[in-house]
Structure 1
């Protein structure tokens, strides 16, 4: 017995020691991976999120140990709606098969994520099972737990497991969701609550168990944006997760795969990756900004579907640029699955041959990733007219499938109709989450708010109270919608109990004391103004060139009624964050002008790190630059590199540091030196000499360009005068 008590004490002290070490580790950048450590994809971010207890053939504790020994802050990620949980589904966990807990669609088919891996209806037994994984991860010393993608497909909802949950939640018999708009709405609302409650339960366990062993383990949810889930017809708790006390933040899972979803604009349906990514990241910011929860932005240098390397690179630049245009976020998941990126094979344009990542793209990608380790928060704002918001809600996910009474919202156009015409005119449009309206910070900087109930419905009356207060205090509200979609009459608070409104907007307009029939004018509501347009927002983008009147209405609202200044229309976005300059020029603008930026720059999208005095950005393209005018010319500094810098030492006539990056890749570095170097030596930490491929001095900028092979173990660079 005493031996057992001693063993528990040793484990307890060990867990405290692990935490005290990891607590001091950096937490700015991360990546997720199921595979064990390998020099070929040693990305050198602060955090590695080791994925899945059963993934990568087991050896979970060895994977944790291997990454920790390489200096990483080790955390844990696993799926909450699916995962390598065959031992649970096939009966090895508790002697019972659980395949019947899968999400089932109308034809009786289960929706699968892989062999013997269904998307789940979260049950008590599954939550009990997932907690065994959580315990194992905490015992292994992880500092955070990520429960990924709480997803319930809109087309699902026909399983026996779901029928039981319906009875429990609504206290009435299950209704097949295809029979009526109300059944569809109630079905999705239940899906939303099932995963909200599941995460609440598991995160409470994380905090409880961590505390019992003297630890403080953080809890995060990696999730797609509300825009993407609504577009892909998936239901998830989204903004409501921020209400969970034990939830510390999110990873915004935005990448080429989500952002390339085609959308309508001026009657044309096509991919608009940069614009879509900008709106997706923005919806994630607005979801968390009022709550103070931490946000990590994800980008992926490739994507899940096999494309060409050229396609990946082009769209990676677009999504990467979009995320950097949000200066209040400075934490990043730099990539998922680096083993897939560095070792996977994909086509190049003009060829059917599968190839690994090119040295040039790998170098460019690593330069971009390294910059994220240094990317500062900034109080700078995007160029353009700020303070215009579009209201969104979790209930956008509730109306997506199936359709009823012939009413459709193709490609989520009721949202894009309010946002895309403004974004395309260079207005840094914001999304505002209705679920955050009770927080006084939510509308603090919004001057003009655009909304519609064509594609969503208010889940609480308090949202209308908050909106009416904001308008009465001077806000300008623009309402678009015919209010004739079949979801207007679903059983909800505005038509039950003391209320009998035909649509939720009737309650809102009553609270604002304005007529809901008066169109084409601004109606005063105390200090604020309201304009009502009986047009569904989708009509502004599905029909060609139908947004001119909308833009003019926004101009009046912004300039005259909100007195917010001149509404600036343009085709570009520009932002400086410390030494970094981020810019994008959009196509489909009336004059198609390019953007010219003059100064002294390093082109960070160029693997040769070229020096520029002028950068010209054409429509449909983006740029990422390092402004050399921001750094001290008298102090040596690595300005840009495809490796991470460690142990920097500056002495008279000598500059020394170590660089680490995935082995067998190529490093490019541009270094500011106040003198022309007389000597440059590169050696592995083992003492072996490393060949220098390029050693070029640029007199005009006093910068040295070095190119050499990378090694995970590290290379010591010594530059002497």
Structure 2
């Protein structure tokens, strides 16, 4: 939605390379690229989402039923005023011409990812997950990236650089192994060291692929007079580690060729079960909070742009009520990071607006998206066009972080010497006991410890090498320096897993440590045999707990000592704060209030918000004086009392995007656009009750509408059928 203190909005011309702006483009405001969506199809009136950017997927011609070339598909979105970007998969995609030899005369199906059983991992028909050889990288450069830039697109997204942990047995991978390590391939199932080496190679291969493709894109763009920006849409490190996938993740944030990321977090990733208090089950809000947090902390110290993604449905077919509940949970979680204000509002609008899904959990009957849900979804999406960044902090005790590393992905598969980490419990064991008590624990990436911003406001750092290993020695110097200056480090781990003894920097080139933690402990002034205890180092403290973090969550009520330790350290020097436990998280961002109440907490009371609010999770967008949020629920509210100029007519909430607002002494007019076959609702703040309402289509025809006046909030409620060509609204008083 657009808000302005001007009498008229000055139209902004969208500059689109290689395409003359249409009349539609001249009236669309959206050049700031704050919101986006991805689609492989051309523009259709039923999927006209009205975000700033349409990310057009795949260069394959005649995609879908439209029978169009890539360039023709791009132009359909440009003609409707969208900035156009491009996305394709880098680990899989419609590259059949590469695998079948059409491109270079040689078959390349042997470049798929292969398991120990000899099975190729497929993403689709003749679409394997790829071992990204140099030849394949050259194909992407020549066949894909050049064409995209030639079409005038200056932003490229190569999504999901993924190598399955269970893969690593193909001939292509064996060839890459010999080149990288200088000795013959070793099967990863035979030892922890082989697994570690295999996963380091998988990591390297996609690091190389992304870096080479993006460097080429920037160079080729410059040759055409363009500044090409490059982004990586990727799952979170939390999810990839849990799903047993290897990806470069945090290391890409330091590459000059990488301009940013899309954090691919949604119901499908966040509903993966995890353990807490001895029970494995879905904890969608909490998992999403940690996923978004790991993506934000991965990029914040590097200054890269970050888009947060949510999805109103998910890949797995379920029912509409399930989708709605979990969409709200992930949506609330993303908004609790106020330093991020760019969003991919949805992927694949065609499957959302035109897909058939179950009407209820116990029925096989399928239907299109219900009107109430599409309305609610569009209200939520349009708040993202308006969502401000904020310096506010999510409620709760600040300054507690958990250390992460890309090597979290290296130890997940297969199991060696009986050591297991069920559902990534060594990570959740450090985070969930605090999160479930209302402490907004953050994540810290060891890859970023050299950046000063990584340490800002951090008071206590919790870490373990039970589920990851430091990929170099330098990180320990930065951690030790932080402790010396007054930080508090809590190390949890028995250091008994098989990966402690893999051939790595801590036991080679003159180092003889039994475990990487011993190097860190030595830098912190500790003496062998590095037993459990509390120690001072400079102005800071070190606490060693000889327990693996998974033990805190795999058994019921087994996290008490861990939680009490953190509470005691938080309440004493050098921190000297009070660690507050509660059952909720809340945050104010401009006029928006975001609330989530956690369950599995001793406190089962609701969170009660009082004021004058619009309920943005209710498709009727009612005005409330009080909102009660129960454990396991979230709320998203617009605080009417926060409006700076209540005499200025303005749209506060809507299921359409608003353009061309015009204010006179006695009237307010606008144009509302949103997908066809959806219902708009609007709540408009006015200085006085309306005398008359005029609602017409783009041709001036009168439209049916519902309206109501709420005297307490001075808002007018409107509802009518959406149209992407524009519905003209005029209110007179």
Q: Is the 8 A contact 2:518 2:530 kept in 1?
A: no
Q: Does 1:609 align with 2:621?
A: yes
**Is residue 2:569 matched to residue 1:529?**
no
Q: Structure 2: how far apart are the matches of 1:521 and 1:509?
A: 12
1:401-433 residue CA offsets vs partner (Å, 9 max, x unmatched): 000000000000000000000000000100000
**What residue is the counterpart of 1:49 in the other structure?**
55
Q: Does 1:59 align with 2:65?
A: no
SS in 2 for 1:561: coil
- Name the CA distance, whole Å, in 1 between partners of 2:30 and 2:603: 52
Q: Secondary structure at the match of 2:579?
A: coil
Matched residue, 1:473: 485
Change (3 A) 1:589 1:573: same
Residue matched to 2:99: 89
The reply to whether residue 274 of structure 1 matches residue 280 of structure 2 is no
Shifted more, 520-529 versus 301-310: the winner is: 520-529
Query: Structure 1: how far apart are the matches of 2:564 and 2:93?
Result: 49
The match for 1:129 among 139, 158, 163 is: 139
Q: Deviations over 1:219-255 (max 9, x none)?
A: 0000000000000000000000012101100000000
Deviation at 1:591, TM superposition (A): 2.3
Measure, in 2, the Cα distance between the counterparts of 1:634 and 1:591.
41
Distance in 1 (alpha carbons) for counterparts of 2:138 and 2:509: 38
> Could you list the runs of 5+ residues in structure 1 that have no partner in the other structure?
1-12
Give the secondary structure class of the aligned counterpart of 2:672: strand
SS of 2:455's partner is coil
- Residue 442 of structure 1 aligns to a residue whose secondary structure is helix
Q: Distance in 2 between matches of 1:377 and 1:246?
A: 25
Which moves more between the two structures, 43-52 or 432-441? 432-441
Where does residue 336 of structure 2 map in the other structure? 325
Residue of structure 2 equivalent to 1:683 = 696
Aligned counterpart for 1:217 among listed residues 224, 228, 236: 228
Structure 2 Cα separation of the partners of residues 650 and 482 of structure 1: 67
Q: For each residue in 1:540-583, what CA deviation from the matched residue of structure 2 results, as whole angstroms up to 9, or x when unmatched?
A: 00011101111100011111133241000001000000000000
Q: Distance in 2 between matches of 1:688 and 1:607?
A: 26
2:395 and 2:587 in contact (8 A); partners too = yes
Matched, 1:501 2:533: no
Partner secondary structure for residue 251 of structure 1 = strand
Indicate the residue corresponding to 1:77 in structure 2. 87
- Pair 1:98-2:108 in alignment: yes
- In the alignment, structure 1 residue 552 sits paired with structure 2 residue 558: no
Equivalent positions of 1:395-474 (< 5 A) are 395-474=407-486
For residue 184 of structure 2, give the secondary structure of its aligned residue in structure 1: coil
**What SS class does the counterpart of residue 572 from structure 2 fall into?**
helix
How far residue 134 of structure 1 moved from its aligned partner, in angstroms, is 1.1
Contact preservation (8 Å) 1:638, 1:670: yes
Matched, 1:107 2:113: no
| 2-structure distance, mates of 1:689, 1:544 | 63
Quick one: which of 137, 149, 167 aligns to 1:138?
Answer: 149
Find 1:298's aligned residue among 293, 309, 323. 309
1:338 is the counterpart of 2:349: yes
Change (3 A) 1:70 1:14: closer
Contact 2:513 2:519 in 1 (8 A): yes
Answering whether residue 201 of structure 2 is matched by residue 201 of structure 1, we say no
Q: Displacement of 1:105 after TM fit?
A: 0.5
Whole-angstrom CA distance in 1 between matches of 2:642 and 2:658: 19
Spell out the pairing of 1:639-678 with structure 2 (5 A cutoff).
639-678=652-691
Partner of residue 371, structure 2: 359
Q: Distance in 1 between matches of 2:717 and 2:30?
A: 34
CA contact under 8 A between 1:15 and 1:213: conserved in structure 2? no
Structure 2 contact 539–574 (Cα < 8 Å) conserved: no
TM-aligned CA distance change 1:351 to 1:521, over 3 Å: same
CA distance in 2, matches of 1:677, 1:240: 57
Question: C-alpha distance in 1, partners of 2:461/2:17?
Answer: 53
Residue range with higher mean Cα deviation, 486-495 or 435-444: 435-444
The corresponding residue for 1:6 is none
Of 579, 588, 596, the residue aligned with 1:576 is: 588
- For residue 23 of structure 1, report the CA deviation from its aligned partner: 12
- 1:288 aligned onto 2:299: yes
> 1:286 and 1:308 mapped to 2: Cα distance?
33
Q: Which position in structure 2 is the counterpart of 1:35?
A: 41
SS in 2 for 1:690: coil
2:173 aligned counterpart, secondary structure: helix
CA offsets per residue over residues 88-137 of structure 1, 9 Å max, x none?
11111111111110001101110000110000000122112111211111
Structure 1 CA distance for aligned equivalents of residues 106 and 575 of structure 2: 65
- Tell me, in whole angstroms, the C-alpha distance in 2 between the residues paired with 1:146 and 1:23: 23
Whole-angstrom CA distance in 1 between matches of 2:265 and 2:277:
25
Retained in 2: the 8 A contact 1:343–1:357? yes
In 2: Cα distance, 1:507 partner to 1:288 partner: 27
Alpha-carbon offset, residue 58 of structure 1: 5.2
Whether contact under 8 Å (1:474, 1:527) holds in the other structure is yes
Residue 7 of structure 1 corresponds to none
Shift of 1:439: 1.2
TM-score (structure 2 length as normaliser): 0.95
CA distance 1:344–1:373, change in 2 (3 Å): same
Q: Deviations over 1:649-670 (max 9, x none)?
A: 1111010100000011000000
Q: Distance in 1 between matches of 2:630 and 2:534?
A: 39
Q: Shift of the alpha carbon at 1:639?
A: 0.3
Q: Structure 1 stretch 345-354 or stretch 460-469: which is displaced more? A: 345-354
Distance 2:258 2:424 in 1: 29
> Cα distance, 1:15 vs. partner?
4.4
Residue 9 of structure 1 corresponds to none
1:8 aligned partner: none
Residue in structure 2 matched with residue 256 of structure 1 by the alignment = 267
**Residue 575 of structure 2 corresponds to which residue in structure 1?**
563
The alignment partner of 1:560 has SS state of: coil
Secondary structure of residue in 2 paired with 1:420:
helix
Q: Which residue of structure 2 lines up, in the alignment, with residue 173 of structure 1?
A: 184
**In the alignment, is the contact (CA less than 8 A) between 1:239 and 1:288 conserved in 2?**
yes
Preserved contact between residue 73 and residue 143 of structure 1 (Cα < 8 Å)? no
Q: CA deviation at 1:143?
A: 2.5
Shift of residue 24 of structure 1?
A: 8.1
Give the Å deviation of 1:515. 3.2
